């Protein structure tokens, strides 16, 4: 490939060339179990910027990468869900801190991916950080809002507490490079669940950069696993996987969402999140976050 | 000449074995580990691996209930899988296992000889073996005296293995080398030959109580030893058992490839190759379910053992 001709402005190659240095190019890999492995299949695909120029190669995840990611997510589940809600909130807030520290990098990637102007890109990054902080604040409030003490006609203390469903498969939205990604990812883990995120095929690189943020901010490895590649290739395997407990089909293209919902129901009755399309800048509401929770109700006998 | 006739003859023989190219062995094991087993071959490999398992529980906390459940699973792993080769337990649980696997092809193996350290007087070890055999064990997994081996008292080790072999009667003898304590692959090769010369029916990598347990390079050296021994000793085929740390179907396949490529196809048989494992069986079953149902299964659908 004649890189010189195809490389876009703003990429590492052209920046380094201007400064007279050898380019330090980044290999975008997957994020599984806290590590950044290449695809088990060894495949990659070309990611282009908004103008169609070569940006980078990203790993093209296979079904076996999806399988490994589910194993990693399952392994991380007891630890993450077992933490106190307060501690989860702290860890998620830390993610927002690190995200904020990489503001310029994310803005550059959003620009390159979508072609928006600098101010718009910065506004999207800021909105993403704010969104993450908003969800971090929810961590130790979910139980009060979603749970409760129930009145019953009998000598029992009866209360309901929300519990995470387990491992979720999250298909990131196709129409947003960063804000939409953050808006589907944070609610999947704030309640104590773990997840396998399938990045949008159009904007995979911000998802991997976000994984770098997660890897360096006290979030235990395996709580979030990021796959890049073709959603239509890996999503059916996740939808039918007996060890996946929920699926968010937001990023499923065309008729695939229907197939995924059928596969999810036909295997182990996964919780399927199929929320109406929203503007990612709007108030996210609590549906997405509560969709990953189940209610445990406890009847505790009381002495008379 | 009988090389086990004296300490000096034995030392001369064992130290006369060619040294192991450690880097080469690692490279060969690594290269073979990259072979992939797919589709129909994978289906066959899964069932072969299951039929080679010595389903093992060697914990202080073993209860009769747990062992009984394990025996039931050994007879019928479920999902259409064949029974495993054997169950492997401590000697006091042998009578329970014998009753639980009666009428099935599953054999009962018992560890003995002051497992896992092997630190006891010979008569205590022999009593341990005899009680397990009397209780109905089909196979005895003994440990060698690593202290004697490492200090060069090869004849002592050899005599002990021979005495245990005599005490076994009809039971098959597996000799555990505990390769994680032998230091070098040269040591593994010598211990393998020492055990085979002294009457072992099987040589086994490890107790599972010492890290590292079974590794591919170690198993490679042991497979070479049984292959060469068969040529040396008029075709007597000794088996190999890899035990400890083999948890996934992928790991198991690597061992099967190794057996096929190093020892040869004749060793791809539960009579000559075993996998000592506990959690491996569930992973093999999950893979089996994946191939049958076309979707991934999960640990929620497997027994907790």
CB A93 within 8 A of CB A130: no
User: What's the token pair of residue A107?
Assistant: 């803005």
- Decide if A28 is inside a domain: no
| CA B192 centroid distance within chain | 12
The per-residue pLDDT for A1 is: 39
Q: Is A46 inside any structural domain?
A: no
Residue A269 near chain B (CB below 8 Å): no
Residues of B serving a catalytic function are: 141, 204, 241
In the predicted structure, residue B1 carries a pLDDT above the cut 80: no
Q: What is the DSSP secondary structure assignment for residue B85, as one 8-state letter? A: S
From the CA of B294, how many Å to the nearest CA of chain A? 9
Contact A74 B299 (CB under 8 A): yes
A74 and B295 in contact by Cβ < 8 A? no
Does A241 contact B at CB distance below 8 Å?
yes
Sheet-wide strand order for A246-248? A224-227, A194-198, A167-171, A246-248, A271-273
Residue A219 and residue A89: Cα distance in Å, rounded? 11
H or E stretch at B87: strand B86-89
Does residue B250 form part of some domain?
A: yes
Q: What range does the domain containing A277 cover?
A: 63-301
Checking if the pLDDT of B267 tops 50, the result is: yes
Instruction: Dump pLDDT digits (tens) for B28-64.
Output: 999 999 999 999 999 999 999 999 999 999 999 999 9
Distance CA A185, CA A198 (A): 10
Residues pairing with A300 in the sheet: A157
pLDDT at B240 over 70: yes
Q: Let me know if residue B49 belongs to a domain.
A: no
Query: Average pLDDT for residues B13-36, to the nearest whole number?
Result: 96
Cβ neighbours, 10 Å, residue B87: 29
Q: What is the structure's pLDDT at A4? A: 40
Element (DSSP H or E) covering residue B53: strand B53-56
Give B-chain residues touching A240 at CB under 8 angstroms. 294-296
Give the whole-angstrom CA distance, residue B1 versus residue B143. Answer: 27
**Domain range holding B139?**
7-37+109-292
Beta strand ranges found along chain A (DSSP E): 44-48, 54-59, 148-150, 156-164, 167-171, 194-198, 224-227, 246-248, 271-273, 293-301
Token digits for A192? 């104590």
- One DSSP character per residue, A52-65 reads S-EEEEEE---HHH
Q: Which residue of A has its CA nearest to B287?
A: A67
Q: Tell me which of B16 and B3 has the higher pLDDT.
A: B16
Q: For residue B88, is it within any domain?
A: no
Q: What is the CATH number of the domain that holds A176?
A: 3.40.605.10
B144 within 8 A of B177, measured Cβ to Cβ:
yes
User: What pLDDT is attached to residue A12?
Assistant: 58
pLDDT digits (tens, 9 = 90+) for B133-190: 999 999 999 999 999 999 999 999 999 999 999 999 999 999 999 999 999 999 999 9
> Which residues of chain B have a CB within 8 Å of the CB of A73?
none
DSSP-H helix ranges across A85-201: 85-101, 103-114, 118-138, 142-146, 179-190
Chain A residue at shortest CA distance from B300: A243
ipTM here = 0.83
Structural domain includes residue B182:
yes
Q: What is the pLDDT of residue A282?
A: 94
Model confidence at B4, pLDDT cuts 50, 70, 90, reads: confident
pLDDT at residue number B234: 79
Mean predicted lDDT score pLDDT of chain B: 95
All residues of chain B having their beta carbon less than 8 Å from the beta carbon of residue A234 are none
User: Is residue B220 domain-resident?
Assistant: yes
Count: domains in chain B: 1
B118-123 mean pLDDT? 94
* All residues at 6 or more sequence positions from B196 whose CB lies less than 8 Å from its CB, including other chains: B203, B225, B226, B229, B233, B238
Is residue B94 included in any domain, yes or no? no
Domain count of chain A? 1
Residue A269: inside a domain? yes
- For residue B32, tell me if it sits in a domain: yes
Stretches where chain A sits below pLDDT 50 are 1-8
Give the CATH number for residue B272.
3.20.20.70
Q: Cβ B296–A237 below 8 Å, yes or no?
A: yes
């Amino acid at each position: 490939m004649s890189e010189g001709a195809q490389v876009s402005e703003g990429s590492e190659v052209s920046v380094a060339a201007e400064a007279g240095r050898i380019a330090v190019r980044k290999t975008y890999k997957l994020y599984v179990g806290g590590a950044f492995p290449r695809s088990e299949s060894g495949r990659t695909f070309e990611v282009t910027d908004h103008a169609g120029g070569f940006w980078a190669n990203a790993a093209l995840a296979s079904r076996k990468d999806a399988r490994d990611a589910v194993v990693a997510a399952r392994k991380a589940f007891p630890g993450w869900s077992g933490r106190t809600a307060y501690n989860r909130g702290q860890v998620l807030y830390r993610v927002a801190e690190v995200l904020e520290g990489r503001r310029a990098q994310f803005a550059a990637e959003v620009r390159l991916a979508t072609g928006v102007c600098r101010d718009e890109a910065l506004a999207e990054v800021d909105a993403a950080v704010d969104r993450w902080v908003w969800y971090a604040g929810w961590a130790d409030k979910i139980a009060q809002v979603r749970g409760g003490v129930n009145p019953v006609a009998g000598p029992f203390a009866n209360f309901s507490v929300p519990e995470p469903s387990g491992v979720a498969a999250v298909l990131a939205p196709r129409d947003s490079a960063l804000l939409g990604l953050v808006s589907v990812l944070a609610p999947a883990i704030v309640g104590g669940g773990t997840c396998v995120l399938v990045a949008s095929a159009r904007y995979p690189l911000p998802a991997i950069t976000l994984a770098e943020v997660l890897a360096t901010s006290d979030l235990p490895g395996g709580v979030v696993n990021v796959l890049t590649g073709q959603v239509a290739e890996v999503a059916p395997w996740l939808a039918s996987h007996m060890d996946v407990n929920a699926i968010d089909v937001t990023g499923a293209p065309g008729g695939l969402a229907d197939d995924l919902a059928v596969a999810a129901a036909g295997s182990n009755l996964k919780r399927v999140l199929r929320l109406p399309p929203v503007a990612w800048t709007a108030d996210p509401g609590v549906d997405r976050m509560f969709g990953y929770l189940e209610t445990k109700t406890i009847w505790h006998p009381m002495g008379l | 000449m009988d090389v086990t006739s004296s300490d000096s003859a034995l030392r001369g023989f064992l130290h006369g074995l060619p040294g192991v190219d450690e880097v080469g062995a690692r490279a060969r094991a690594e290269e073979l580990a990259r072979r992939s087993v797919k589709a129909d071959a994978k289906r066959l490999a899964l069932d072969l691996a299951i039929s080679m398992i010595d389903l093992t529980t060697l914990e202080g906390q073993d209860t009769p209930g747990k062992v009984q459940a394990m025996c039931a699973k050994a007879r019928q792993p479920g999902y259409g899988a064949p029974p495993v080769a054997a169950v492997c337990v401590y000697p006091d649980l042998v009578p329970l296992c014998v009753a639980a696997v009666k009428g099935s092809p599953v054999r009962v193996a018992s560890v003995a000889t002051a497992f896992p350290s092997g630190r006891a007087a010979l008569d205590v070890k022999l009593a341990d073996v005899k009680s397990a055999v009397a209780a109905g064990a089909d196979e005895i997994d003994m440990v060698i005296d690593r202290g004697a081996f490492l200090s060069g008292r090869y004849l002592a080790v050899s005599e002990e293995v021979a005495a245990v072999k005599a005490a076994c009667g009809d039971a098959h003898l597996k000799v555990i080398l505990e390769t994680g304590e032998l230091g070098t692959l040269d040591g593994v090769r010598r211990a393998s030959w020492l055990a085979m010369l002294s009457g072992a029916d099987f040589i086994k990598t490890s107790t599972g109580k010492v890290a590292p347990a079974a590794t591919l390079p170690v198993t490679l050296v042991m497979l070479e030893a049984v292959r060469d021994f068969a040529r040396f000793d008029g075709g007597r085929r000794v088996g190999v058992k890899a035990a400890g740390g083999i948890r996934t179907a992928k790991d198991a396949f690597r061992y099967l490839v190794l057996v096929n490529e190093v020892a040869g196809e004749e060793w791809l048989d539960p009579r000559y190759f075993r996998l000592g494992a506990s959690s491996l069986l569930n992973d093999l079953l999950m893979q089996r379910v994946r191939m049958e149902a076309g979707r991934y299964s999960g640990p929620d659908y497997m027994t907790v053992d």
